[in-house]
Structure 1
Amino acid sequence: MTPDTLSDTAPQVATMGYRAIDADGHYYEPHDAFTRHLESRFSNRALRVEVSSKDGLGRLFYGDKKLGMMKVTQTDYTGAPGSRADFFQGLIDDEEGWHQSEVISAHDHPAMMNRDARIALMDRQGIEATLLFPTVGVAVEHEMHDDVDALYAGLRAFNRWLEDDWGYGADGRIFGAPMMSLVDPEQGCAELERVLRAGARILHMKRGPVYGASIAHPSRDRFWAMVQEADIPLAFHIGDAGYHELWGTQWGEEPRPPVQYTSPFQVYLASTAMEDTIANLILNNLFDRFPKLRILSVENGSEWAKGLTKRMNKAAFQTRGQAGLGGPVTCRPADVLRQNFYICPFFEEDPVELAELIGADKVLFGSDWPHPEGLAEPLDFADKLIAHGDGAMTRRIMRSNMAKMIGLAA
């Protein structure tokens, strides 16, 4: 049951006069998320969690290979919500850099792993609805892409688990985002068709190339046609885009470092994955072919947006008449960015500045709860907007933009 009055929730709700819609929420996966619904014929090729008898912590394995992005599963060992927020805002000078502090196990916090508990917490936080993205799940596609059939079996199993434990937003509260992949267009389209039948209202895909191919290549147009026909937004969320192995090794870097042990150059290199993905989609004319697509950039920040628009416009201008994978560029890329993309800035960035660049109707609020680098209190995101004093812009960013995409009242 929701609180009786707006004053029963976060203080920003009383100021704004409405509850918010969070475009960047997370769960922590149970150990069987990839195996509970795994088809039996893939039992010997399962992505799985193995719990160590020494420390009691789970680690992700595929066959004999331990997956590299996470030293241990974050479900078992992570920081408390918002515990690293001050570090990312530059409010503390931590000589150790990125590490977990205020360590918790998600198993001890029902709202991180249980739907009913999460909804009760959302009521107190002033959140009417949230999109939910993986925590562990963002680390798997790259490391399994060589075994395509097993990869898709794992994704199908994961999405069925998501349907079980969180759902796709039938009640208007929690909108789980099933994981899509275009490594194999045929299998990608089959899983898209299945999750659409199951009621999915938002999709999630890994950033970056698909191992020698572009997701915007016309050979993958059937997938995009289905997305456009379904009128469903697709989000690219931060995760393992494969850049460490694909590009970092060309500079002498390690191919699969745990996130806590990435080098400065690896961090820099991986941070370009969202920009590259946007540029690839636009400069390969995906939106000429499918002009009604809505693409979300979630937990990728936004400081790159201004420079990206300039670089794309210049690339299109300099290559007029030259055909890329999708033919010659006929658009002004900056206009496509403003028309088809929605960006969720980091809380430490300036949402007003981003709104001035791409339009307030294309900026989204995201808390990243319950991750340590996110916000302990999600609606603290609204403070800069409230201080700016533009109530209409605040409502668009904190509620209306996302509400329209998932079928809620704006």
Structure 2
Amino acid sequence: MNELGYLSIDVDNHYYEPLDAFTRHLPKEFRRRGVQIMKDGRHSVAVIGERVNHFIPNPTFDPIIEPGCLDLMFRGQVPEGVDPVSLMKVEELDLRPEYQNRDARLKVLAGQQLESIFLFPTFGCGVEEALKKDIPATMASLHAFNLWLDEDWGFDRPDHHVYAAPMISLADPVAAAAEVDFVLERGARLVHVRPAPVPGEVKPRSLGHPDHDPVWARLAEAGVPVAFHLGDSGYLTISAMWGGKENFEGFGFTDPFDKIVTDDRAIHDTIASLIVHGVFTRHPGLRVASIENGSEWVHRLAKRLRKLANQYPRAFAADPVQELREHVWVAPYYEEDVKRLAGVIGVERILFGSDWPHGEGLETPVSYAKDLSPLNSDDDIEKVMRTNALEYLGVPVPSVAR
């Protein structure tokens, strides 16, 4: 079959949204309040909530960055004297139909030695933050997006090769529960929730606020897990406190200090809110995963949870570190210490994600197996490359004969 002896499951794949992904099914009354793509001379710009948005500076994705071309930069292995910017390569979108077409993507999977992929947005990861002050527009826009996603990629297809994750905003708790019911009825096998405080009409809320229990209860009962994928979590407000920029700009100038003060705080705080505010205690069947957020935050969170449990034992109905190990799966960055991560949460909770076809991901997804060489055995590598994803999904996926 291949040198691994099995087909892998990649939990971090992306599509590039067409221009009508958020507008094809958006009600007319939200057209100006939601996502608009407008011409600015020869270029197209995204206008979200009637403000120009730079989360994705080129919303047409044409040209688009080549998969994995920034690998050396993210590994910290750029040769001396080489400008990291020179590593970026682009290609015409028309040359890669698999970025926007499901049938074309299925053909690519066979050549990539992948059994299944989890699919996440690219442009869509910045929409909820941009609309957080207009909750009705947020809910309408994400519902329209989910209609498009099911139409073009499909939540539930019998081949089980593509798991497209609908986006759920908790900003309106009643509408959020209705949206979960909607995507579950359509056959969704996982859902995507932004790793961030929940926007509110009066003030933000924790993900562990009791108002959100109907959503967690529905997902736990259905056995459908939650994925927290990297996106615009609004944490650049911390950078702004230090004089930095407040709004995310993809591929714009980056002050390294912005990275230091924000880094992986959003996912750290997201998982902490679920544990400290009792979500897993109230909903013991809930499974969640951190996708494309790295794994260094896991060590800090486990250390802090352990200390707090000793200081405030009455605040925790269960061992918080054990809840982390039982309920949370993590897809680390390929350059991180996977053996150290296994020592904290167990190898059974580590997932393989390539971030394909993004430039900061891997050119060849299954090459990630080489980065798993520090693990103890081929069985552990297979857990990361395939079987852990099956346990996370909790749904039958066709097994592959050796």
- Give the superposed CA RMSD: 1.9
User: What is the percent sequence identity of the aligned residues?
Assistant: 37
- Against the structure 1 CA distance between its residues 257 and 371, is the aligned structure 2 distance closer, same or farther, given a 3 Å change threshold? same
Shift of 1:68: 3.1
- Work out whether 1:248 is the aligned partner of 2:236: no
Q: Which residue of 2 aligns with 1:27?
A: 15
Do the aligned residues in 2 keep the contact of 1:403 with 1:409 (CA within 8 Å)? no
Aligned: 1:68 with 2:54: yes
Query: Could you state the TM-score of these two structures normalised by the residue count of structure 1?
Result: 0.90
Deviation (angstroms), 1:386 = 5.2
SS at match of 1:16: coil
Alignment partner, residue 186 of structure 1: 174
Whole-angstrom CA distance in 1 between matches of 2:105 and 2:304: 42
Residue 313, structure 1, aligned to residue 306, structure 2 = yes
Structure 1: distance between partners of 2:214 and 2:303: 30
- Tell me, yes or no, if structure 1 residue 298 matches structure 2 residue 291: yes
> Aligned ranges for residues 374-389 of structure 1 at < 5 Å?
374-385=361-372, 388=375
SS of the aligned residue for 2:241 comes to helix
Contact 2:356 2:365 in 1 (8 A): yes
Name stretches of at least 5 consecutive residues in structure 1 with no aligned partner: 1-5, 7-13, 322-327
Counterpart-to-counterpart distance in 2, 1:386 and 1:258 = 36
Higher mean alpha-carbon deviation, 203-212 vs 93-102, is at 93-102
Q: In structure 2, what is the equivalent of residue 225 of structure 1?
A: 217
Residue range with higher mean Cα deviation, 379-388 or 360-369 = 379-388
Which of 40, 60, 79 is the aligned partner of 2:65?
Answer: 79
Deviations 1:199-248 (A, max 9, x none): 00010011111132111111211111111111111000000001113x33
**Partner of residue 17, structure 1:** 5
Change (3 A) 1:27 1:41: same
* Contact residue 28 and residue 75 of structure 1 kept, 8 A: yes
In the TM superposition, residue 77 of structure 1 has moved relative to its aligned partner by: 4.1
C-alpha distance in 2, partners of 1:381/1:348?
9
Residues 144, 303 of structure 1: alpha-carbon distance in 2 compared, 3 angstrom cutoff: same
Q: 1:389 to 1:250 in 2, by over 3 A?
A: closer
Name the counterpart of 1:173: 161
Q: Secondary structure at the match of 2:31?
A: helix
* Residue type at the aligned position of 2:48: Y
What are structure 2's unaligned runs of at least 5 residues?
A: none
Alpha-carbon spacing, 1:36–1:307, altered in 2? closer, same or farther (3 Å): same
Q: Distance in 1 between matches of 2:92 and 2:266?
A: 30
Q: What is the distance in 1 between the residues matched to 2:93 and 2:151?
A: 19
Alignment partner of 2:359 out of 351, 354, 372: 372
Q: Which deviates further from its counterpart, 107-116 or 37-46? A: 37-46
Q: Is the 8 A contact 2:229 2:290 kept in 1?
A: yes
2:149 aligns with 162
1:279: which partner in 2? 272
- Residue 393 of structure 1: aligned partner: 380
Partner of 1:408: 397
State the match for 1:128 in structure 2: 115
Contact 2:335 2:371 in 1 (8 A): no
How far the C-alpha of 1:117 sits from its partner, in A, is 0.8
Q: Assess, with a 3 A threshold, how the Cα gap between structure 1 residues 337 and 44 changes in structure 2: closer, same or farther.
A: same
Asked if structure 2 preserves the Cα contact closer than 8 Å seen for 1:100 and 1:372, the reply is no
1:267 matches 2:255 = no
Give the letter aligned to residue 251 of structure 1: W
- Equivalent of 1:210 in 198, 205, 215: 198
Task: Supply the AA of the counterpart residue of 1:85.
Answer: D
Could you tell me which amino acid in structure 2 is paired with residue 220 of structure 1? H
- 1:74-132 Cα distance to aligned partner (Å, 9 max, x none): 72343200000111111105775578710234343111111111110000000110000
CA distance 1:138–1:96, shift in 2 (3 Å): farther
Change (3 A) 1:167 1:392: same
How high is the TM-score relative to the length of structure 2?
Answer: 0.92
